[in-house]
Amino acid sequence: MDIVHPGEQPVTKIDQPKSNRTPMDAPGFGRSRCPVCWSWWQNCKCGYAVNYNFGESIFGSCIRISEEVNKKTCQRASEDEDRKRATDIRTVDGSISIATRVQEGGHNIMNSMTLRYYPPEKSEFKKILREGYADQYLIVTVDKKGSISYWILVDLSVLRWIFTIHGDQLLEHESYCQYYDQAQPYWRFNLLKMKDLPGAEGLIITNLPQFYQMSFKF
């Protein structure tokens, strides 16, 4: 179900600048392997290849949002930063690193942040929560036409501080965190509920209308 309804929030359509990365379905790209499931690109079954190209289509807007919020010039991070440090965007001066996720809208995800837990030893969950990579996490939600519905920027230092205060026991509270045990497991965090925890001041910045800024259940 789309979360943007007529008259409630304007939909922003932004022309995307050309990316300097090679799309995964480009000729010759199939000779590489997926960094997640390690299959050949054309045989990738974990969804990384599809998600990569989907994210590329809106990446220019992610950079613009990052610049608008941080008041700094931003650029695409290197491949090494992307794969090893969970960083997709960085400020030109190097002071802020940003992970990004582009997702299609739905009532069940409008209040949440998803961190992949596959493979566990080099997952987003480990890199961001355990190893401290990335300063911010930008989540951009688009409608079925590819237009931006809303975005949420998470201050990851605040998120890590929440777990410092409350410990991993917080992972056991399903109203805040849920683990999805499947072929590609992941954790989902209820941001609009977590922002009211002690120590969570400044957890998120969002253009989500106030009407939607409530603690929905998962």
Q: What are the pLDDT digits (tens) for 117-167?
A: 988 888 999 999 999 999 999 999 888 887 888 899 999 999 999 999 999
Please name the residues in contact with 72: beta carbons below 8 A apart, sequence gap of 6 or more: 91, 92, 93, 95, 96
Write the pLDDT tens digit of every residue in 177-194.
999 998 889 999 999 889
Q: How far apart are CA 112 and CA 116, in angstroms?
A: 13
Domains of the chain: 59-212 (3.40.210)
The model's pTM: 0.76
* Per-residue exposure over 50-65, b if at least 16 CB sit within 10 Å of its own CB, e if not: ebbeebbebbbbbbeb
Q: What is the pLDDT of residue 22?
A: 45
Q: Around 175, how many Cα atoms within 13 Å sit in the side-chain half-sphere? A: 8
What pLDDT, on the 0 to 100 scale, is given for residue 34? 72
Q: Which one-letter DSSP state was computed for residue 40?
A: B
Mean pLDDT along residues 188-212: 88
